[in-house]
Every structure is written in structure tokens, then in C-alpha cells.
Amino acid sequence: MGNKNKTISFRVNEDAFETLREIAEERDISLSAVFRDYVDTLVAHDGQVQVVPEHELDQMGADEEKSFPPKVRVPKSFIREHERLELEADHLREQLEEHKRYVNYLREQVEDEEEEVIQLEDLDADADEPSFRLG
């Protein structure tokens, strides 16, 4: 099996379409080529692509702190607490599943047993026997 091309279609508003067509005309390429270039760039950079106007591109190159995607420093205590809460949530899910299994087991036991009915007459019949009292 070879590498087959696939078609992607989507809708844009008229203003965006006109802007894209102008970009294609400036570069003297087809509108499809604009999209293919964008998709190729997106795939090559693992989805980490930011589209910016050219005049802002120079400013972004000067600012090394402004990277895309943005990065945030998180304290280790926050990460540890998050991991602890994830472990606790997993433990609680396991306990819940165990409880559900036990409840289902008890329901099956009740359903499987025949109803045991004790007739009062049967208890009175035992009264003829001598009773013993400890005292």
C-alpha cells in the first residue's frame, strides 16, 4: 500500500476566504497549496505552529521568552499534591468497584435463596417439649 493523499474540507467565512486567496496570489501559488504548506508545517512541528503576521515575526524572534506553546513553571509541591490526589482518586475508584461487586454478590445471595418462612404454628408445636431454665 502506497502513501495515498486524502482530502480535507472545511468552511470559512468570506473574509477569511478572501484573505487566504490574497495570500495565495501574493505567493503566486494556488489556494490548495497554501493549505498543503500549512498542513505540512503543522505535521512537521507536531501541531505546535502559530500563525503570525510577518511584521510580528521579527519581534517574536527577539523575545526568546515568548515561545509557542506557552510554558508555565509549576512548583513541585503542586505536582506532588496533584499526583497524590490522582492516586487517592484511583484508590477510591477501586474501593467503589469493590463495594459494587460486594453489593451485587449480596443481591445474588438474596435472590438465590428461597424465602424462608417460619409459621407460628410450627413454633407452638415445639412448645410441647419440655423447656429448661437456667437459673
Q: What is the pLDDT along the chain (135 residues), one digit of tens a residue?
A: 567 777 777 788 888 888 888 888 888 888 888 888 888 888 888 877 777 777 776 666 555 555 666 777 888 898 899 999 999 999 999 999 999 999 999 888 887 776 666 677 766 665 556 666 676
pLDDT of residue 50: 74
pLDDT of residue 65: 54
Q: Are 55 and 86 in the same domain?
A: no
Query: How many domains does the structure of the chain reveal?
Result: 2
Q: Is residue 128 part of a domain?
A: no
Q: Is residue 132 part of a domain?
A: no
pLDDT of residue 94: 96
pLDDT of residue 91: 96
Q: Is residue 44 part of a domain?
A: yes
CA atoms within 13 A on the CB side of 25: 6
Closest residue by Cα to residue 49 from 38, 57, 59: 38
Q: Are 77 and 106 in the same domain?
A: yes
Q: Identify the domain containing residue 55 by its residue range.
A: 14-62
pLDDT of residue 81: 92
Q: Are 55 and 89 in the same domain?
A: no
Q: Which helix H or strand E contains 17, and what residues bound it? A: helix 14-27
Q: Which helix H or strand E contains 89, and what residues bound it? A: helix 76-112
pLDDT of residue 110: 80
pLDDT of residue 44: 84
Q: Is residue 32 part of a domain?
A: yes
